Amino acid sequence: MLIFVGLGVWDEKDISLRGLEAVRNADIVFAEFYTSPLAGRRTERMEKIYGRKIIVLKREDIEENDFILEHAKEKNVVLLSAGDPMIATTHVDLMLRAVEKGIKTEIIHASSVYSAVAGACGLQIYKFGRSATVSPPFRDVISEVPYETVIENRKRGLHTLLFLDIDMSIGYALNLLEEIERRRMSSEMDAEMDAEMDDELVKSGDGNEDDCDMRAGGMIGGISDVLFVGIARVGASDQVVKADYIDALRTYDFGDPPHILVAVGNLHFMEKEALIKLADAPLL
């Protein structure tokens, strides 16, 4: 049997009683922390509290072979992972492979960063759109996916959850979003100037209308107008939650990572009150 056990969002104490019972009754206990590191955990503390030896696996142990499944054919196996075991992980694939081999499976759910973030700042979880990850530049190339995700969600009035690399600060992430906007605006201006020049050529008879580059800019709002919520160490006793606009938030001291961001969409009156009282937001 293969049992997927979620560990919650912060440390080894976030496991449910049902999950702890499964761990203590298992023949073998595996854990993976490549999908999410469970920031506050220490494997040694987990072993002491749970009373079991824990074997930490690499991505390839789970995704590229049947290492776990070979054990689960004959033994009671537990796989521990941060958050909820089926949220933002690849464990569905492992579960399907287990089912195909006739191995019984069970899921013991736990709190996820998605629900924890919504609860920490008082936003309604059904009003979140697609999430994205802010990554550091690679060879001076910055992924525009998080910026585009914020813009698209805001068109529909939705909030956006932005994951940050494990050691990335909120200030650095906001600077990246602003840099993406600056580059896009520069590109839009260049395109408009090219289009205007092509128009002039067509009007003067010196150009062919079919050759015109009629690219049109289309920025919807500016990132400086977006209310953000920064959260540090969600689920910890010293968790920090602060809402503000980009200029104020980038210099706010959130302390140690991990950090996470929410770009706020349209707000219900209860959400406004929650952000002011729970996240020290400016009056909305």
pLDDT greater than 60 at residue 180: yes
Is residue 99 located within the same domain as residue 141? Answer: no
Q: Which of 9, 160, 25, 20 is nearest to 87 (CA)?
A: 9
User: What is the model's pLDDT at position 212?
Assistant: 33
Does residue 202 lie within any of the structural domains?
no
Separation CA 16–CA 7 (nearest Å): 8
3-state helix, strand, coil in the chain (%, to 5): 40, 20, 40
DSSP E strand boundaries for the chain: 2-6, 28-32, 55-57, 77-81, 105-108, 132-134, 160-164, 227-232, 240-245, 259-263
pLDDT at 207: 47
Q: Which two tokens stand for residue 74?
A: 């004959």
Report the CATH number that the domain containing residue 32 is assigned in CATH: 3.40.1010.10
If asked whether residues 14 and 143 sit together in one domain, one would say no
Overall average pLDDT of the 57-65 stretch: 87
- 284 is a domain residue: no
Residues 259 and 160 in one domain: yes
What the block records as the tokens of 210 is 């079919």
Identify whether 214 is part of a domain: no
Range of the domain at 35: 2-111
Mean pLDDT for the chain?
88
In a shared domain, residues 26 and 133? no
Residue linked to tokens 């521990």: 80
Residue 29 carries which DSSP code? E
Average pLDDT of the residues in 21-36: 92
**CA-CA distance, 158 to 83, in Å (whole number)?**
23
> Can you tell me the mean pLDDT for 83-102?
91
Mean pLDDT, to the nearest integer, of 14-23? 97
Within a domain: 241:
yes
Asked if 170 and 84 sit in the same domain, the reply is no
Same domain, 157 and 247: yes
Q: In this structure, are 107 and 171 located in the same domain?
A: no
Strand order in the sheet with 132-134: 132-134, 160-164, 259-263, 227-232, 240-245
pLDDT band at residue 202 using 50, 70 and 90 as cut-offs: low
pTM above 0.75, yes or no: yes
Same domain, 81 and 56: yes
Indicate whether 268 belongs to any domain. Answer: yes
For 70, what's the count of Cα atoms within 13 Å in the CB-facing half-sphere?
A: 5
Q: Are 119 and 132 found together in one domain?
A: yes
CA 244 to chain CA centroid, nearest Å: 19
Query: What does the DSSP assignment read for 139-176?
Result: TTB---HHHHHHHHHHHTT-BEEEEE-TT--HHHHHHH
User: Is residue 209 domain-resident?
Assistant: no
| Residue 208 in domain | no
Q: Which distant-in-sequence residues (6+ apart) come within 8 Å of 130 by Cβ?
A: 149, 152, 153, 160
For helices 43-50 and 17-25, angle between their N-to-C axes, nearest 10 degrees: 80
Do both 126 and 77 map to the same domain?
Answer: no
Asked if the structure places residue 231 within a domain, the reply is: yes
Structure confidence at residue 258 (pLDDT): 92
Asked if 84 and 26 sit in the same domain, the reply is yes
The CATH code of the domain that includes 244 is 3.30.950.10
Instruction: Using the 3D structure, point to which of 81, 111, 141 is the last residue of a domain.
Output: 111
Domain boundary among 111, 135, 169: 111
* Single residue among 111, 129, 158 that ends a domain in this structure: 111
Give tens-digit pLDDT for 113-160. 999 999 999 999 999 999 999 999 988 889 999 999 999 999 999 999
Q: What pLDDT shows up at residue 189?
A: 57
* Total domains, the chain: 2
Same-domain pairing of 101 and 128: no
Q: What would the pLDDT profile of 245-266 be if each residue is shown by its tens digit?
A: 999 999 999 999 999 999 999 9
Distance CA 133, CA 123 (A): 19
Query: How far apart, in whole angstroms, are the C-alpha atoms of residue 89 and residue 82?
Result: 10
Three-state secondary structure of 85-115: CCCCCCHHHHHHHHHHCCCCEEEECCCCHHH
pLDDT at 198 over 60: no
